[in-house]
Amino acid sequence: MKEVIGNFKVKNYYLAEIENVGDKLKSWSWDIYIAANDKMEYKGKALAPGKGIEVPWTSLGGQDVLEEMMDLCAQQMPKYS
């Protein structure tokens, strides 16, 4: 998928399994997309298939953009448990 968001182009796609530590331990699958522009600025988006949950395009600034997106996904999970 080579989606374009403004000046950003999707560079990486990941399928991540993230554990939800709530009442019960459950893993959720997330489709995570990382986009970059020519200035090496990054944005990320994530979808939880079957859950109907989306983390919209978000500017990322950390050293590990995948880890940053996984943290954003994990923050959404308790809301929908």
pLDDT in tens, 47-57: 999 888 999 99
Please state the rounded mean pLDDT for residues 61-77.
Answer: 93
Nearest to 56 by CA among 69, 74, 67: 69
- Which domain covers residue 64, as residue numbers? 4-80
Report how far residue 68's alpha carbon sits from residue 52's, in angstroms, rounded to the nearest whole number: 21
Number of domains into which the chain is organized: 1
Q: pTM for the full model?
A: 0.86
